């Protein structure tokens, strides 16, 4: 019916249909949805979404009136849809062109005889709050909050659903307050504080009442109260412990009574928990969501240094009750029993649940109260263990639930508990406690209590370092047996987790007799597994292979085909395919396996790489990954066999493919060929010139400025391998390489790719030493779009990106290269100005519109000054890391800080003086150790460490020598450049020059 209406009256027609209470609900909802879209497209000229024709002023007035008159609709879904349309218009018209909107809503809220109108006004206000500016909020809150408080304080008039909506508006405002900054936040905090005390009193009344069974409106109202209280803690720091003590007692009553309802509704399943249900506004109304919110608020309170004392006296009871909340629910028992994937996913992904929230609260208790918190948790665990034993003796069929929940609680704190046990800081022997529990439960019926059995396995895995060898061996044998038995899926899941953890540390002689059976069982399990369980089985198989190389070698003919099949089936799944590759890699490193494995794989992947266009999605990229894995760290004869079958195909993929994943993986594969084949590879094909041309052609395609950045992502690491392993061949093409690198850099959209190309320039600087000036001249002779020459462009980008470069090797190479360039004192250096530091704006909060009007501005500095600052920044970073390391011997840097030296010209002169006082070897070695700490190594880094001598640089010592030499050879320039440094940068230089 709408299609035949003129656009000029379309909005009015839609409004009339939505407002007509005699029409069918579905038709009215459709009209309201279309109206919202109509408003977005035709209401306001100048908006990005605007389309002509625009709505006339007269029609706007009609639509606004019709919508307001419809807010008291008895159909709540319609009311919500109308409210969304009102909010959409308010973004454009209110307050200037719609001044009567808020007065109308406030009047509607206050009408006790029109509950539908109250709901409609509340819903509309809740949607409006996200678009209110600071000035409007300041004017609205003193008027609105008393109206809302009247609603919440009149339960005899307003039902719990209405009260919950009123409280949700308070929550929205306090949330917005937290997003504010500076003066606005301070002003609004001062405004809100006097209004909150009556709200705290009202919240106390609400929380004081026991939680009711099967009353989702009550749960929703309490949930909104807890959300508000949470925001008070986070966004109103002036609220003190005294204010929160008002709700401490009522909060505890809510906590206690909610457990009783939760046990009946969720754990036992004897009452309706309203799981997965939502109200007409889309808000969840289940018991679980309320309990999770309760835990979230308690987590905030316990984690607050100011408020933790509110619950300090009840911490033992808090922990005791929390463990009960961790019991597996009846719904979980049903779901996990029929779907092992769901069980694994819920365990691994830390899904949104009461179990996870409760475990987080226990962890916060341990963090806040340390040993006392841990002792409280262990005491509660012992008490719960005892209670479960009494339930078992009394004939209960669900006695295992509390037992499993207690083990789950302890396992969630395994890191803290093990650390305390090892250090002797806890008064309870956690290892002994667990061993007693395991001894009692390991003989239970695995079919009757599969989840407890699974929890025993996973708990032993997490506490293996504090359990006796006898217990570990017993559990290991039980896990091996469980994998091969007909037991419920959760038990097999737990067994896999235990084996993954225990096998690497197991006695090989002890486990060897069982390994052949374990491999067979895992292989069979692999054929049955899917999704999440497949990942777990692969992890277990990898651990088993690494635990006993000899047995795995004899099983290779059985294991490899199954793994390869799993890999092929899931080649497009990055997680499973990576797991499968890691299993194959473990097999490859087993004695006697690599040649057989390569012989098995090559006949399969050779044809795939040869005809990539004919393969299903993902198979070519996956095959390239598999080839790269086989190449890494392999004997030279194996690399040659792979070269004969795959090299030409890999080069063709780089040259011809349009698939970015294929290009990336092919680039990494070529880098592996170069890294492992090296110079000898040039002669494998019978024509060394052809092989080298193939490698250079691939580099040329990857450096093509027209190619999308994603396709070139790994070109930097590939070219680095060429430079390191084929330096004499690459030296013949340096000029062409540099020109191509510049063109590629100027078209790059990915920061990481740009940084990897800068690393190539840095490595070329080192290759040119001691004739670095000639390399600068080469760059100057090459053009760069928008710059005087390539040198000006490269140094402009390099100085911008240096602080973002990651990795110890990369930082060493680029930093030392900057020092080499600066040491030349080449005339071109002084001609170039680069980006300095960011000029801070005084505009307050930066919105997108402000950013467009006033983008970031930077100072401009000379290139030598910027280079010196970057070199000093590296020392500053090492200094900060050194000072932050509490486990190191007292840092020599502290001496510099305590002197509080003001660096002036005389000090700089003293730095330049000839001195035998140099940085001590021990000091610089300690600095280098700190610099390299926590650097994650991958295959490429390992290769570079072995091949590239630059990785042996002690960067602190290197820079110390550089600064001394630079100062002594050109003191005037050094002093001039140092004047532009920050005080911390000068102190860092002083520390390595005057020791």
User: Cα-atom radius of gyration of the chain, to the nearest Å?
Assistant: 35
Residue 127 forms part of a structural domain: no
Contact between 357 and 299 under an 8 Å Cβ cutoff? The reply is yes
Sign of the four-CA dihedral 637, 639, 641, 643: negative
Residue 521 forms part of a structural domain: no
- The pLDDT assigned to 919 comes to 45
Residue with tokens 């419920």: 488
pLDDT per residue as tens digits for the range 750-763:
888 999 999 999 99
Q: How far apart are CA 258 and CA 414, in angstroms?
A: 28
- The pLDDT assigned to 849 comes to 39
Q: How far apart are CA 783 and CA 762, in angstroms?
A: 19
For 569, the token pair is 């089936």
**Per-residue pLDDT averaged across 284-292, rounded?**
91
Cα–Cα distances in angstroms (integers) from residue 595 to residues 46, 631, 749, in the given order: 68, 12, 42
Nearest CA to 449 out of 404, 384, 386, 394 is that of 404
Nearest CA to 15 out of 46, 45, 43 is that of 43
Contacts of 952 (CB under 8 A, 6+ apart): none
**Per-residue pLDDT averaged across 499-515, rounded?**
88
Q: How far apart are CA 811 and CA 818, in angstroms?
A: 11
Residue 720 forms part of a structural domain: yes
Contacts of 411 (CB under 8 A, 6+ apart): 455, 458, 459, 462, 463
The string of DSSP letters for 195-220 reads: HHHHHHHHHHHHHHSPPPTT-HHHHH
Confidence at 935, pLDDT banded by 50, 70, 90? very low
Lowest mean pLDDT: which of 52-56, 630-634, 920-924, 948-952? 920-924
Quick check: 5 pLDDT over 60?
A: no
**Do you know the residue count of the chain?**
995
Residue 652 forms part of a structural domain: yes
Confidence at 162, pLDDT banded by 50, 70, 90? very high
Nearest CA to 642 out of 676, 682, 667 is that of 676
3-state DSSP assignment of residue 860: strand
Q: Please, which contacts does 267-271 make with residues 24 or more away whose CB atoms are closer than 8 Å?
A: 267/327, 267/328, 267/329, 267/330, 267/401, 268/330, 268/398, 269/329, 269/330, 269/331, 271/213, 271/214
Say which DSSP state 278 is in: B
Q: What is the 3-state secondary structure (H, E, C) of 86-119?
A: HHHHHHHHCCCCCCCHHHHHHHHHCCCCCHHHHH
Do you find a cis peptide bond into 639, omega within 30 degrees of 0? no
Confidence at 688, pLDDT banded by 50, 70, 90? confident
Global pTM value: 0.77
Residue 857, H or E segment: strand 857-862
Lowest mean pLDDT: which of 286-295, 504-513, 551-560, 918-927? 918-927
Contact between 636 and 681 under an 8 Å Cβ cutoff? The reply is no
For 741, the token pair is 């690198």
For 901, the token pair is 């030296």
For 565, the token pair is 């099949």
Which residue intervals of 825-891 are DSSP H helices? 827-831, 848-853, 863-884
Nearest CA to 449 out of 388, 518, 377 is that of 388
Query: Cα–chain-centroid distance for residue 595?
Result: 39
pLDDT per residue as tens digits for the range 188-240:
677 778 888 899 999 999 999 999 999 999 999 999 999 999 988 888 877 76
Quick check: 885 pLDDT over 80?
A: no
Residue with tokens 């841990």: 374
Q: How far apart are CA 689 and CA 683, in angstroms?
A: 9
Instruction: Give one word for 395, left, alpha or beta, with left for phi > 0 and alpha for psi -120 to 50.
Output: left
Residue 856 forms part of a structural domain: no
Confidence at 287, pLDDT banded by 50, 70, 90? very high
Sign of the four-CA dihedral 795, 799, 800, 806: positive
- The pLDDT assigned to 200 comes to 92
Backbone phi, psi, residue 676, to 5° = -90, -35
- The pLDDT assigned to 176 comes to 76
**Per-residue pLDDT averaged across 601-605, rounded?**
93
CB-based burial of residue 879 (10 Å sphere; 0-12 exposed, 13-18 middle, 19+ buried)?
A: buried
- Other Cβ atoms closer than 10 A to 189: 17
For 418, the token pair is 């093990």
* β-bridge partners, 838: 858
For 404, the token pair is 């499993």
Residue 838, H or E segment: strand 833-839
Contacts of 848 (CB under 8 A, 6+ apart): none
CB-based burial of residue 181 (10 Å sphere; 0-12 exposed, 13-18 middle, 19+ buried)?
A: exposed
Rounded to the nearest integer, the mean pLDDT of the chain is 85
**Per-residue pLDDT averaged across 648-670, rounded?**
94
* β-bridge partners, 872: none
CATH number for 693: 1.25.10
Confidence at 924, pLDDT banded by 50, 70, 90? low
Sign of the four-CA dihedral 383, 389, 393, 397: positive
Query: Based on the structure, what is the number of domains in the chain?
Result: 1
CB-based burial of residue 169 (10 Å sphere; 0-12 exposed, 13-18 middle, 19+ buried)?
A: buried
Contact between 609 and 627 under an 8 Å Cβ cutoff? The reply is yes
CB-based burial of residue 279 (10 Å sphere; 0-12 exposed, 13-18 middle, 19+ buried)?
A: middle
**Per-residue pLDDT averaged across 453-460, rounded?**
92
Residue 782 forms part of a structural domain: yes
Confidence at 904, pLDDT banded by 50, 70, 90? very low
pLDDT per residue as tens digits for the range 390-445:
999 999 999 999 999 999 999 999 988 888 776 665 556 788 888 888 888 887 88
Residue 890, H or E segment: none
Confidence at 165, pLDDT banded by 50, 70, 90? very high
Residue 14 forms part of a structural domain: no
Q: What is the 3-state secondary structure (H, E, C) of 730-748?
A: HHCCHHHHHHHHHHHHHCC
pLDDT above 70 covers a percentage of the chain that reads 88
Q: How far apart are CA 30 and CA 9, in angstroms?
A: 17
Within 13 Å and on the Cβ side, how many CA atoms surround 230? Answer: 20
- The pLDDT assigned to 902 comes to 38
Strands 857-862 and 833-839: antiparallel
First to last CA, the chain: 88
For 718, the token pair is 């590939």
Sign of the four-CA dihedral 228, 233, 239, 242: positive
- The pLDDT assigned to 848 comes to 37
Query: Cα–chain-centroid distance for residue 544?
Result: 30
Residue 863 forms part of a structural domain: no
Quick check: 154 pLDDT over 90?
A: yes
Contact between 894 and 883 under an 8 Å Cβ cutoff? The reply is yes
Q: What is the dihedral of CA 569, 575, 580, 581, to 10 degrees?
A: 120
CB-based burial of residue 125 (10 Å sphere; 0-12 exposed, 13-18 middle, 19+ buried)?
A: buried
Contact between 403 and 388 under an 8 Å Cβ cutoff? The reply is yes
Range of the domain at 601: 550-838
């Amino acid at each position: 019916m709408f299609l035949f209406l003129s656009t000029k009256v379309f909005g009015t027609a839609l409004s009339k249909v939505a407002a007509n209470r005699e029409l069918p609900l579905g038709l009215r909802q459709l009209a309201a949805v279309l109206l919202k879209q109509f408003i977005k497209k035709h209401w306001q000229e100048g908006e990005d979404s605007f389309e002509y024709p625009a709505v006339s002023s007269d029609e706007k007035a009609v639509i606004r009136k019709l919508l307001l008159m419809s807010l008291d609709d008895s159909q709540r879904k319609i009311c919500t849809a109308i409210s969304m349309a009102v909010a959409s218009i308010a973004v454009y018209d209110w307050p200037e062109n719609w001044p009567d909107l808020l007065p109308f809503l406030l009047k509607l809220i206050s009408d006790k005889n029109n509950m539908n109108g109250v709901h409609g006004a509340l819903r509309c206000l809740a949607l409006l709050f996200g678009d209110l500016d600071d000035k409007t909020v300041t004017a609205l809150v003193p008027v609105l909050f008393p109206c809302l408080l009247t609603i919440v304080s009149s339960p005899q008039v307003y039902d719990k659903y209405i009260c919950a909506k009123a409280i949700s508006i308070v929550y929205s405002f306090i949330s917005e307050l937290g997003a504010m900054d500076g003066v606005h936040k301070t002003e609004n905090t001062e405004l809100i504080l006097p209004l909150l005390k009556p709200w705290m009193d009202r919240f106390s009344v609400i929380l004081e009442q026991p939680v009711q069974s099967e009353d989702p409106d009550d749960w929703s109202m309490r949930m909104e109260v807890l959300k508000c209280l949470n925001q008070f803690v986070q966004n109103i720091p002036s609220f003190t412990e005294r204010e929160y003590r008002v709700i401490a007692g009522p909060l505890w009553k809510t906590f206690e009574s909610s457990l009783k309802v939760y046990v009946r509704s969720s754990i036992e399943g004897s009452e309706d928990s309203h799981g997965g249900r939502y109200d007409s506004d889309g808000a969840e109304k289940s018991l679980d969501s309320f309990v999770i919110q309760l835990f979230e608020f308690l987590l905030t309170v316990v984690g607050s240094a100011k408020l933790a004392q509110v619950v300090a006296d009840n911490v033992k009871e808090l922990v005791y009750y929390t463990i009960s909340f961790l019991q597996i629910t009846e719904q979980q028992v049903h779901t996990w029993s029929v779907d092992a994937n769901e069980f694994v996913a819920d365990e691994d992904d830390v899904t949104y649940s009461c179990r996870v929230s409760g475990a987080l609260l226990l962890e916060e208790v341990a963090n806040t109260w340390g040993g006392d918190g841990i002792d409280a948790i262990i005491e509660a665990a012992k008490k719960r263990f005892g209670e479960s034993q009494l339930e078992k003796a009394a004939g209960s069929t669900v006695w295992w639930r509390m037992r499993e929940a207690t083990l789950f609680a302890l396992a969630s704190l395994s890191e803290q508990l093990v650390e305390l046990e090892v250090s002797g800081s806890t008064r309870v022997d956690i290892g002994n406690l667990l061993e007693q529990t395991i001894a009692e439960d390991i003989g239970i019926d695995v079919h009757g209590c599969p989840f407890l059995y699974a929890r025993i396995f996973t708990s032993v895995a997490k506490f293996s370092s504090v359990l006796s060898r006898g217990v570990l061996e017993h559990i290991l044998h039980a896990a091996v047996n469980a994998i091969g038995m007909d037991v419920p899926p959760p038990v097999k899941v737990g067994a896999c987790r235990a084996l993954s953890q225990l096998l690497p540390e197991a006695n090989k002689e002890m486990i060897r007799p069982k390994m052949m059976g374990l491999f067979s069982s895992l292989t069979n399990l692999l054929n049955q597994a899917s999704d999440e369980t497949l990942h777990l089985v692969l992890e277990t198989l990898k651990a088993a292979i690494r635990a006993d190389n000899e047995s795995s070698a004899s099983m290779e003919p059985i294991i490899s085909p199954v793994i390869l099949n799993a890999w092929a089936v899931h080649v497009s799944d990055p997680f499973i395919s990576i797991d499968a590759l890691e299993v194959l890699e473990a097999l490859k490193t087993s004695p006697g396996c690599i040649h057989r494995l390569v012989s098995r794989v090559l006949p399969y992947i050779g044809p795939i790489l040869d005809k990539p266009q004919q393969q299903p999605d993902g198979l070519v990229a996956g095959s390239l990954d598999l080839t790269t894995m086989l190449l890494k760290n392999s004997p030279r004869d194996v690399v040659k066999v792979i070269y004969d079958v795959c090299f030409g195909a890999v080069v063709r993929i780089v040259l011809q493919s349009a698939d970015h994943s294929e290009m990336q993986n092919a680039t990494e594969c070529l880098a592996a060929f170069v890294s492992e084949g090296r110079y000898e590879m040039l002669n494998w094909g019978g024509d060394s010139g052809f092989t080298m041309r193939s490698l250079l052609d691939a580099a040329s395609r990857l450096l093509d400025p027209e190619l999308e950045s994603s396709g070139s992502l790994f070109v930097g690491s590939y070219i680095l391998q060429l430079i390191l392993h084929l330096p004499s061949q690459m030296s013949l093409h340096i000029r062409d390489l540099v020109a191509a690198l510049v063109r590629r850099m100027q078209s790059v959209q990915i920061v990481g790719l740009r940084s990897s190309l800068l690393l190539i320039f840095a490595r070329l600087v080192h290759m040119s030493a001691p004739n670095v000036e000639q390399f600068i001249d080469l760059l100057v002779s090459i053009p760069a779009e928008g710059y005087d020459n390539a040198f000006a462009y490269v140094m402009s980008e390099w100085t911008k990106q240096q602080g973002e470069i990651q990795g110890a090797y990369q930082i060493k190479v680029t930093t030392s290269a900057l020092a080499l360039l600066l040491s030349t004192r080449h005339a071109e250096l002084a001609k170039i100005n680069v980006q300095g530091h960011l000029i801070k704006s005084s505009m307050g909060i930066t919105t997108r519109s402000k950013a467009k009007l006033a983008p970031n501005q930077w100072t401009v500095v000379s290139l030598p000054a910027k280079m010196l600052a970057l070199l000093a920044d590296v020392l500053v970073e090492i200094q900060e890391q050194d000072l932050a390391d509490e486990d190191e011997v007292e840092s020599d840097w502290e001496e510099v800080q305590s002197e509080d030296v003001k660096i002036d010209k005389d000090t700089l002169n003293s730095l330049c003086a000839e001195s035998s006082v140099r940085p001590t070897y021990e000091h610089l070695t300690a600095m280098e150790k700190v610099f390299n700490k926590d650097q994650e190594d991958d295959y490429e880094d390992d290769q570079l460490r072995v091949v590239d001598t630059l990785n042996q640089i002690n960067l602190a010592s290197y820079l110390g020598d550089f600064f001394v030499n630079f100062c002594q050879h050109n003191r005037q320039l050094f002093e001039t450049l140092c004047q532009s440094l920050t005080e911390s940068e000068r102190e860092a230089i002083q520390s390595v020059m005057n020791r």
